[in-house]
Amino acid sequence: MQQFPTILPPPPLPDGSEAPARSAEKHANLVRFQSELEFVQCLAHPQYLHELSIQGYLSKPPFLTYLEYLEYWRSPEYVKFITYPTCLVYLTLLQTELFKSRLNDMGFINELIRVGTRHHETWRVEKPPSPEAPTEEDPSQTIDHGADDDERDDNDANEKKNGEGDGAPRGRRKGGGQGHAKGRSSLSSVTGIPPV
């Protein structure tokens, strides 16, 4: 079976010539960086944490020391490489005895998975307003220029007829303004450990 390289070669130089090969030390540092990044991101999955607990790694002092060492991933020059930020939350929680003791319970693991899945189902990033689009006015900041209710109703009817109105009350988002956190349980409510 053919062995595939785990580290990509350096990209070509801007003039198209091939870049010089990496030194052995630089290659070793790159392998270490990638393996530590991969391991710390594995901590984002509750079933992996359960497996570490079952195999007894969480009771071994050298492994716990290694977890403390991995805290450097929180610094700005490293955190930008992390794809699954939940791993840093679990890295913190792995420092507590209560969390480590509950990792043996499959019901607890299933609840962590449920909370994580629910978070990703409801999480969204608000799009910034485009520079061309008019911004919605805050009703508390608008000044009533004496327009009658009948005139407002006529304006609303004209907007709907022209396809401009969305039917949502002015100054409110569609969907009633409910945030994504409504009806969700947080990780701290599952673990019983207050947020850091």
pLDDT at residue 133 in the model: 58
Judge whether residue 181 has pLDDT over 50: no
Nearest to 188 by CA among 79, 99, 109, 95: 99
Give domain 25-121+184-196's CATH superfamily. Answer: Mediator of RNA polymerase II, submodule Med31 (Soh1) (1.10.10.1340)
Task: Give the residue, 110 or 180, on which the prediction is more confident.
Answer: 110
For the chain, the average pLDDT equals 76
The residue type found at 28 is A
Q: Retrieve residue 144's tokens.
A: 């009533």
Nearest to 103 by CA among 60, 57, 68, 65: 57
Render pLDDT for 33-71 as a digit per residue (tens, 0 to 9).
999 999 999 999 999 999 999 999 999 999 999 999 999
CB 94 within 8 Å of CB 100: yes
C-alpha span between 164 and 156 (Å, rounded): 9
pLDDT at residue 8 in the model: 67
Average pLDDT over residues 122-139: 65
Three-state DSSP class for residue 107: helix
**Kindly report the CA angle at 55 between 53 and 58, in degrees rounded to 5?**
40
pLDDT at residue 17 in the model: 80
Crossing angle of the two packed helices 46-54 and 106-122, in degrees rounded to 10: 160
Judge whether residue 176 has pLDDT over 70: no
Render pLDDT for 88-110 as a digit per residue (tens, 0 to 9).
999 999 999 999 999 999 999 99
CA–centroid distance for 176 within its chain: 25
Percent of the chain with pLDDT over 90: 43
Q: How far apart are the first and last CA of the chain?
A: 48
Three-state DSSP class for residue 59: helix
Cβ atoms < 10 Å from Cβ of 44:
19
Judge whether residue 144 has pLDDT over 60: no
pLDDT interval class at 177 (50, 70, 90): very low
Nearest to 156 by CA among 172, 144, 168: 168
CB 49 within 8 Å of CB 94: yes
Go through the chain and tell me how many residues it has.
196
Percent of the chain with pLDDT over 70: 58
According to DSSP, residue 180 is labeled T
pLDDT interval class at 170 (50, 70, 90): very low
Judge whether residue 167 has pLDDT over 50: no
- Tokens 């679990």 appear where? 90
